[in-house]
Amino acid sequence: MKSWIVVVAAALVSVGAVSVGAYFDNAPDTEAIMKALFKKNSGKFNTALKKEIETSPTDWEALQKTTGEIAKLGGDLEKGKPGKGDEASWKKLAGKFGADTKALHDAAEAKDLAKIKASQKAIGGSCKACHNAHRE
């Protein structure tokens, strides 16, 4: 959360109150969530997660920390707005993304590698449909 505060503070200083208003209209920001989840992994779904899944023996603490962060961001997606597309479709697709990321974290909490992999696959297969409908 600290970085979010820094972003808002920086926006206040550099561009003034009008844009900050726009920022809050969109919060939680869809682009920021996508960036946090994917951009730092050069567009691929969480590479830290991939590595942690493949590591043997499993470092459950690290894995659960990663899936917890993914689930938090994934759950917030539905509350934001997409660049385009209608609201009902967004609620459905973003809602599914929230449920998929929660299932991923639940599986990590249960230390169930097979379920983790299944969730990872479901999430990895959900990108295109939502981007086609809602990404500008």
Q: Using CB under 6 A, list all residues that contact ligand HEC.
A: 30-31, 34-35, 38-39, 43, 45, 77, 82-83, 93-94, 97, 123-124, 126-127, 130-131, 134-135
Distance CA 107, CA 60 (A): 11
Lookup: tokens for 81: 């707005």
- CB nearer to ligand HEC: pick between 21 and 43: 43
Q: How many Cβ atoms sit within 10 Å of the Cβ of residue 128?
A: 9
Kindly state the smallest distance separating residue 5's Cβ from ligand HEC, in Å. Answer: 21
Q: How many Cβ atoms sit within 10 Å of the Cβ of residue 82?
A: 20
- CB nearer to ligand HEC: pick between 23 and 38: 38
Kindly state the smallest distance separating residue 136's Cβ from ligand HEC, in Å. Answer: 6
Give CB contacts under 8 A, 24+ apart, made by 73-78. 73/33, 73/36, 73/37, 73/101, 74/33, 74/37, 74/98, 74/100, 74/101, 74/102, 74/123, 75/101, 75/102, 76/28, 76/33, 77/28, 77/30, 77/33
- CB nearer to ligand HEC: pick between 34 and 63: 34
- CB nearer to ligand HEC: pick between 61 and 88: 88
Kindly state the smallest distance separating residue 15's Cβ from ligand HEC, in Å. Answer: 18
Lookup: tokens for 40: 């730092």
Kindly state the smallest distance separating residue 16's Cβ from ligand HEC, in Å. Answer: 21
- CB nearer to ligand HEC: pick between 73 and 130: 130
Kindly state the smallest distance separating residue 54's Cβ from ligand HEC, in Å. Answer: 18
